[in-house]
Structure 1
Amino acid sequence: MIVWLNGTHGVGKTTAGRLVQRLLPDSRVFDAEKVGETLMDITPGLPETDNFQHWPPWRPLVVDTARRVLDYTGGTLVVPMTVLVEPYWREISDGLAGHGIPVRHFVLHAGRDTLLARIAGEHPVPSPFRLRYPEPYAEASRTWLHAAAEVVDTTDLTPEQTAVRVTKALA
């Protein structure tokens, strides 16, 4: 099975993912961003983009990597990864379903003020990349994302409480 933790950049997916993995027996964290980083390392580079998810190879590579890891290890993969473009999510989720891999899709949500405070608190200078995504996330939430997932409002939760809430939802 895959436990996909979606939500905007800076909401706490990576932290929650590590904590969920500790609570789920026989689970591993798969950082699908590493697939994008591999594509970014190709030389000469792939066509210019502001997000590696726009490269068509990224999505099937994520599906194939997850499938192969699960074939090898079994258990559960926890995937903390933002996907805000509905056709990209459909391509990934349909690809996993085509391999018979069940996916529990969670969206970690935080109110705008909480989200911006979390981003500001990460580093001395907030990440310009992360600051570009609250509006695209809000649009995705209104149009499709919250309907396509189980929403966990993390506004008033610690990362540990978020992980427990996700894990309990899986039971």
Structure 2
Amino acid sequence: MVIWLNGTFGAGKTTTAGELVALLPEARIFDSEQVGSMLRHVLDSVPVDDFQQWPPWRGLVVETIGQLLDYLGGTLVVPQTVLVERYWTEIRDGLAAAGIPVHHVLLHADDAALVHRIETDTKPESAGAGQWRLDRLAAYREALPWLRREAEVVDTTRLPPDRVARTVAGRVG
């Protein structure tokens, strides 16, 4: 199965994913951004603001998940923000067509918590990305109506990551 951890920057996707794989036997993290990185050198002549705009990214994410689960079995935890409903529908439907159950979980935090987390993030991969991430909060707010419809919401505002992971694990069985 797939546990897709959605949410904006600062919601706790990466940290929760790490905690979650420690709780679930045979669970692994699949970083679908690596698919975007792989495509970047091939599709650099097709300018986009986000690699998710490339149709091959969405198709390859579905195909890669299927291949990995066929090979490894178990559970893949995918910590990936998807804010465009059409993109999510394409991924969800592709996984369903492959017979792969998906638990779509929205990790949500209030604006004050998100801003604080983004502004105080000290992870090396976050260096210099603070303003870019803050600028994406408006798109997240716009996507909230469909996200709440499509995903199970876990409020991370006041929960430590280990409790968020236990909550998610309890909900997906």
**What TM bracket, shorter-length normalisation?**
over 0.9
Counterpart position of 1:149: 151
Percent identity at matched positions? Answer: 50
Compute the displacement of 1:10 (Å): 2.3
Contact preservation (8 Å) 1:5, 1:79: yes
Are the equivalent residues in 2 in contact too, given 1:4–1:80 (CA < 8 A)?
yes
Aligned with residue 165 of structure 2, among 159, 163, 168: 163
Q: TM-score, normalised by structure 2?
A: 0.94
Unpaired segments ≥5 residues, structure 2: none
Letter in 2 for 1:164: R
Q: Structure 1 residue runs of 4+, over 3 Å off? A: 123-126
**1:46 aligns to 2:45 (yes or no):** yes
**Structure 1: any 5+ residue segments left out of the alignment?**
none
Structure 1 residues 126 and 55, CA gap change in structure 2 (3 angstroms)? closer
Q: TM-score, normalised by structure 1?
A: 0.95
Residue 170 of structure 1 aligns to which amino acid in structure 2?
V
Question: C-alpha root-mean-square deviation of aligned residues, in Å?
Answer: 1.3
Q: Deviations over 1:98-156 (max 9, x none)?
A: 000000000000000000000011137552321121111111102x1111000000000
Q: CA deviation at 1:61?
A: 0.4
Distance 1:32 1:46 in 2: 21
Other-structure match for 1:17: 17
Q: Give 3-state SS (helix, strand or coil) of 2:55's partner.
A: coil
Count of equivalent residues: 169
